[in-house]
Every structure is written in C-alpha cells, then in structure tokens.
C-alpha cells in the first residue's frame, strides 16, 4: 500500500508541475504577443519579419524531416549536444 500512495503523490506532483509549466508558457506567449512582437515590428519592419518567419518555417520543416527519418534518437542526440555546450552560470 505505501507504494500505491507514493505513486498517487508523484502523479499529483507531475500534474502540478505540468500546470505550472503551462501557465509559464501561456504568460511567455502573451508577453511576446503584446510587448515583444510590436517592438520587433517597429525595429525590424514587416518585410524582415516576414523573411524571418519563412526562415523559421523552413527550419521547422528540416527538423520535422529529421525526426521522421531518424526517429527521436536524432533529436535526443541534438538536444544532448546543445545541453553539453550550454554555459550554465555558477551558483554561489
């Protein structure tokens, strides 16, 4: 029985963490849409933003094709490489 109770608590914790993550993503998206995108439009101009959007769509197609061809292993390796080369601040 302790294992069952422990599992329930873990599931609740995962749900709580999922809700927090969802809320953070929604807040981030709202901030981009209401603050950052209008500033980018002023600084970069509509034409440059359109070009950037096309570049991003092309890259998304490439990554989607990689995932289809190589499965998640390709993306996992890429993610591990990115994590390895990411500089993390030292915590004092």
How far apart, in whole angstroms, are the C-alpha atoms of residue 11 and residue 47? 47
Cβ contact 41:49 at 8 Å? yes
The H or E element that residue 22 is part of is helix 2-31
Note whether 1 and 34 are same-domain residues. yes
The alpha carbon of 52 is separated from its chain's Cα centroid by a whole number of angstroms, namely: 18
Nearby residues of 40 by Cβ (< 8 Å), 6 or more positions away: 49
**Residue 54 exposure: Cα atoms within 13 Å on the Cβ side:** 6
Residues 31 and 70 in one domain: no
How much is the pTM?
0.47
The answer to whether residues 63 and 79 belong to one domain is yes
Range of the domain at 69: 46-92
- The number of domains in the chain is 2
Residues 58 and 86 grouped into a single domain: yes
Residues 40 and 63 in one domain: no
Per-residue pLDDT, 52: 93
Mean pLDDT of the chain: 79
**Residue 36 shares a structural domain with residue 59:** no
Residues 31, 73 share a domain? no
55 compared with 90, residue with greater pLDDT: 55
């Amino acid at each position: 029985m302790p294992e069952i109770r422990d599992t329930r608590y873990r599931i609740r914790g995962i749900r709580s963490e999922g809700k927090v993550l969802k809320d953070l993503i929604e807040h981030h998206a709202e901030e981009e849409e209401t603050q950052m995108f209008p500033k980018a439009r002023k600084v970069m101009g509509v034409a440059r933003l359109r070009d950037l959007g096309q570049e991003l769509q092309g890259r998304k197609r490439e990554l989607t094709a990689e995932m289809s061809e190589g499965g998640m292993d390709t993306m996992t390796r890429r993610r591990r490489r990115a994590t390895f080369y990411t500089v993390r601040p030292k915590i004092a």
